[in-house]
């Protein structure tokens, strides 16, 4: 069985094709800078056209969709109604869902009779307990407006948790794990017996850890202050929090390799802030989980930087806990989820 996965971003399209009988990657291509000046590829449609693929030979196409709201907690075969509902979720993920939708629409045009399956980043966290996913806001904010914590990077946390179980030679249902997806976007997850019971990202992927360009947790009163006292518009505040904060905001750079090699004091400060925040989350998840079988690192920073891993773990508090470093494969996880849907 052949399953293709499309991870469509605003200016990129990542495509992977798997033989699901062997779980082998048969073909992969990353098209970047779509629609940008001097780029040959102007649209997502052209990006798909540039692939060396016979779409009629596929059994399904899986699509990464970042936000599934409170509507989608399972991989879902896309039809007109599902697509409409995903479009309705755009206000919850304005940076991500439109590009995901574009990928689905373009692929549907190419492969009319092949199931297109949406796999949601939020789905893995759907079973968090209420005390984890509710904000202490007036309850009607949740009931009427669906304002709650959703969590993201679900396919990655899920993938590395299953890989951890294989490495530890235990059933996932016997394990308590803390998974750390540390990339440009970053999140932590407390996984009890295979279920996400808490995660650092919330209503949007802005909450939690100090990221490349995102602030993570801040006092929400700062947003009021920025608007009331400094006269910033809603859009300006949005841009500051999502694009101008995090490591970039503190030291002007967000490539962690550069920060590590820099002698500049602010680069060190930015890394210290990032590391401290990760430590605080690990500590709080240890308190929630009780026994922790392993702390698992993944994502560009988590997989590649022993310097950052060592700094995060430089406390005796972590003695005796297994540390795993696992390369994530969100596309393979999406293909596995598609297989689950097709087999039902």
Give the number of residues in contact with ligand ADP, rule: CB under 6 A: 12
Is 256 among the residues that bind ligand ADP (CB under 6 A)? yes
Give the residue with the Cβ less far from ligand ADP, 53 or 247: 247
- Which of 257, 322, 327, 340: binder of ligand ADP (CB under 6 A)? 257
> What DSSP string describes 2-43?
EEEEEEE-SS-EEEEEEETTTTEEEEEEEE-STT-TT-S--S
Is 12 among the residues that bind ligand ADP (CB under 6 A)? no
Catalytic one of 121, 198, 293, 329: 121
* Beta carbon of residue 50, minimum distance to ligand ADP (angstroms, whole number): 22
Q: Is 61 exposed, middle or buried (0-12, 13-18, 19+ CB in 10 A)?
A: buried
142-175 exposure pattern, b = at least 16 Cβ within 10 A, e = fewer = beeeebbbbbbbbbbbbbbbebbbeebeeebeeb
Please state, in angstroms and as integers, the Cα–Cα distance from residue 266 to each residue in 248, 249, 250, 273, following that order.
10, 10, 7, 10
* Beta carbon of residue 27, minimum distance to ligand ADP (angstroms, whole number): 21
Q: Return the DSSP state at 56.
A: G
Binding segment toward ligand ADP, per CB under 6 A, in 85-93, 139-147, 222-230, 253-261 = 253-261
Give the residue with the Cβ less far from ligand ADP, 14 or 149: 14
Contacts to ligand ADP from residues 51-110, by CB under 6 A: none
- Which of 73, 255, 284, 288: binder of ligand ADP (CB under 6 A)? 255
Find all residues with CB under 8 Å of 113, minimum gap 6, and list them: none
* Beta carbon of residue 304, minimum distance to ligand ADP (angstroms, whole number): 3
What's phi and psi for 157, nearest 5 deg? Answer: -60, -40
Contacts to ligand ADP from residues 199-218, by CB under 6 A: 212
Give the residue with the Cβ less far from ligand ADP, 228 or 257: 257
Rounded Cα distance, 225 and 218, in Å: 12
**How is the chain split among helix, strand and coil, in percent rounded to 5?**
45, 20, 40
Q: Is 45 exposed, middle or buried (0-12, 13-18, 19+ CB in 10 A)?
A: middle
Binding segment toward ligand ADP, per CB under 6 A, in 7-15, 60-68, 182-190, 334-342 = 182-190
Rounded Cα distance, 175 and 191, in Å: 8
Give the residue with the Cβ less far from ligand ADP, 75 or 299: 299
Q: Contact letters (x/-) for ligand ADP, 121-160, by CB under 6 A? A: ----------------------------------------
Contacts to ligand ADP from residues 296-315, by CB under 6 A: 299-301, 304-305
- Which of 183, 202, 208, 249: binder of ligand ADP (CB under 6 A)? 183
Q: Is 310 a catalytic residue?
A: no
Rounded Cα distance, 195 and 9, in Å: 28
* Beta carbon of residue 342, minimum distance to ligand ADP (angstroms, whole number): 27
Find all residues with CB under 8 Å of 65, minimum gap 6, and list them: 72, 86, 97, 100, 101, 104, 118, 119, 120, 121
Residue whose Cβ sits closest to ligand ADP: 300
- Which of 9, 75, 154, 185: binder of ligand ADP (CB under 6 A)? 185
Rounded Cα distance, 64 and 156, in Å: 11
Determine how β-strand 176-182 pairs with β-strand 294-298. Answer: parallel
* Beta carbon of residue 153, minimum distance to ligand ADP (angstroms, whole number): 9
* Beta carbon of residue 66, minimum distance to ligand ADP (angstroms, whole number): 12
* Beta carbon of residue 256, minimum distance to ligand ADP (angstroms, whole number): 4
Q: Which residues are catalytic?
A: 121
Binding residues (CB under 6 A) for ligand ADP: these are 183-185, 212, 255-257, 299-301, 304-305
């Amino acid at each position: 069985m052949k399953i293709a996965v499309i991870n469509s971003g605003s200016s990129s399209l990542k495509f992977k094709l798997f033989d699901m009988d062997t779980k082998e990657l048969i073909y992969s291509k990353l098209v970047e800078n779509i629609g940008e000046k001097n780029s040959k590829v102007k649209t997502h449609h052209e990006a798909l056209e540039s692939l060396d693929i016979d779409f009629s030979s596929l059994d399904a196409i899986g699509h990464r969709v970042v936000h599934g709201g409170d509507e989608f907690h399972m991989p879902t075969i896309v039809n007109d109604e599902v697509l409409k509902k995903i479009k309705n979720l755009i206000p919850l993920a304005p940076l991500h869902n439109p590009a995901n939708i574009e990928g689905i629409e373009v692929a549907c045009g190419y492969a009319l009779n092949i199931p297109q399956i949406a796999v949601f980043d939020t789905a893995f966290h759907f079973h968090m307990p209420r005390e984890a996913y509710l904000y202490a806001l007036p309850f009607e904010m949740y009931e009427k407006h669906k304002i709650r914590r959703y969590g993201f990077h679900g396919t990655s946390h899920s993938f590395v948790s299953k890989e951890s179980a294989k490495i530890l030679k235990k059933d996932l249902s016997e394990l308590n794990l803390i998974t750390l997806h540390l990339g440009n976007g970053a999140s932590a997850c407390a996984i009890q017996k295979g279920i996400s019971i808490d995660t650092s990202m919330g209503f949007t992927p802005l909450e939690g850890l100090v990221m490349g360009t995102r602030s993570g947790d801040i006092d929400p009163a700062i947003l009021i202050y920025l608007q009331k006292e400094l006269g910033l518009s809603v859009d300006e505040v949005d841009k500051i929090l999502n694009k101008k904060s995090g490591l970039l905001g503190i030291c002007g750079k967000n490539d962690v390799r550069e920060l590590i090699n820099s002698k500049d004091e602010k680069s060190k400060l930015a890394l210290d802030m990032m590391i401290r925040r990760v430590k605080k989350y690990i500590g709080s998840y240890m308190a929630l989980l009780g026994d922790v079988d392993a702390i698992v690192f993944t994502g560009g920073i988590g997989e590649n930087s022993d310097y950052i891993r060592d700094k995060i773990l430089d406390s005796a508090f972590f003695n005796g806990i297994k540390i795993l470093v696992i390369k994530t494969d969100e596309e393979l996880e999406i293909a596995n989820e598609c297989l689950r849907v097709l087999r039902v």
